[in-house]
Structure 1
């Protein structure tokens, strides 16, 4: 039972005040992929980006971006 995921809303980010959160969603997804590429999935600070984008982004977007990343068609360079 220690593997229970605690879900909470992402905290305020001063870079995105009172605006549509789409950019914040994308930025956290991008930051997570770059962090994992550079440091690996077990690097604790990467988990903050993971939590942020899984909270902010619709699941359909994440699935599409993951598929594009696997296919090499994601419009960003995710290598470190």
Structure 2
């Protein structure tokens, strides 16, 4: 019978030598100034989209500012909110055209 010493296989069968590092993730609510900066950047971006008939390529600097000043979850929420408001506006004006679908058999 062969017995392996710890020198031959270091660390086998033992717990790590100390606690595993825990990254600290600080999640705090944005301050009033941060919220104002976020909402201002969002408003500038939406204004640019309105002025450029939704051509996002013309609003990249505003988009970058918006994304850098707002928490990621807020950006997702505001983007979905804009899509919904545009859809609702078209629907109420009778201008909504559902996407054409192709049937597959």
* Bin of the TM-score, shorter chain as denominator length: 0.5 to 0.7
- Structure 1 segment 5-24 matched on structure 2, within 5 A: 20-24=33-37
Deviation sequence 1:39-68 (CA, Å, 0-9, x none): 23222xx32221111111001111111111
Q: What is the TM-score with the length of structure 1 in the denominator?
A: 0.55
In structure 2, which of residues 74, 83, 92 is the aligned counterpart of residue 61 of structure 1?
A: 74
Match in the other structure for 1:42: 57
Count of residue pairs the alignment pairs up: 53
Higher RCO (C-alpha 8 Å, min separation 6): 1
3-state SS of the aligned residue for 2:60? helix
> Looking at CA atoms only, which structure, 1 or 2, has the larger radius of gyration?
2
What is the alpha-carbon root mean square deviation over aligned residues?
A: 1.9
Deviation sequence 1:5-42 (CA, Å, 0-9, x none): xxxxxxxxxxxxxx722111111111111102212322
Return structure 1 stretches of 4+ with deviation > 6 angstroms.
none
Q: What is the TM-score with the length of structure 2 in the denominator?
A: 0.44
